[in-house]
Amino acid sequence: MPLSLSKHGETAEVKRIGGSENVKKRLETMGFTVGSKVTVVSEMAGNLIVSIKDSRVALSREMANRIIVSGDTRRSGA
C-alpha cells in the first residue's frame, strides 16, 4: 500500500519506490530505501511528516503515494 494511506503512529517497511529515476534517487537520498522502517509522525491534509533513519522528513501526498510499504503496519511502541 502507498505510504500516504498510513496513519499517525504507524510503522511500516519500505517495499518499493515508484516514479522516475530522478524521483527514486531523490527519495533514496532522503533515506527511503527498500527495507527501511518508516513511522508516520504527523498527517495533515494528506501530507506527511515521517521518521526514517533517525531523521524527520516532510512529504507531499504525491511523493508519499510513490513509496510502497508493507501492509503489515503497526503502531509504534506496541
Domain ranges of the chain: 3-72
CA proximity to 34, closest of 73, 70, 76: 70
pLDDT, residue 71, reads 64
pTM of the full predicted structure? 0.86
Residue with grid cell 510499504, as numbered in its chain: 69
Instruction: Give buried/exposed letters for 4-26 (b at 16+ CB in 10 A, else e).
Output: bebeebbbbebeebeeeeeebee
pLDDT, residue 78, reads 47
Contact status, residue 5 vs residue 71, Cβ threshold 8 Å:
no
CATH of 3-72, picked from 1.20.1740.10, 3.30.70.2740, 2.60.120.10, 2.30.30.90, is: 2.30.30.90
pLDDT, residue 76, reads 56
Name the stretches of the chain with pLDDT < 50: 78
pLDDT, residue 66, reads 96
pLDDT, residue 45, reads 86
Non-local (6+) Cβ contacts of 64 within 8 A are: 2, 3, 4, 46, 47, 48
pLDDT, residue 18, reads 95
pLDDT, residue 4, reads 93
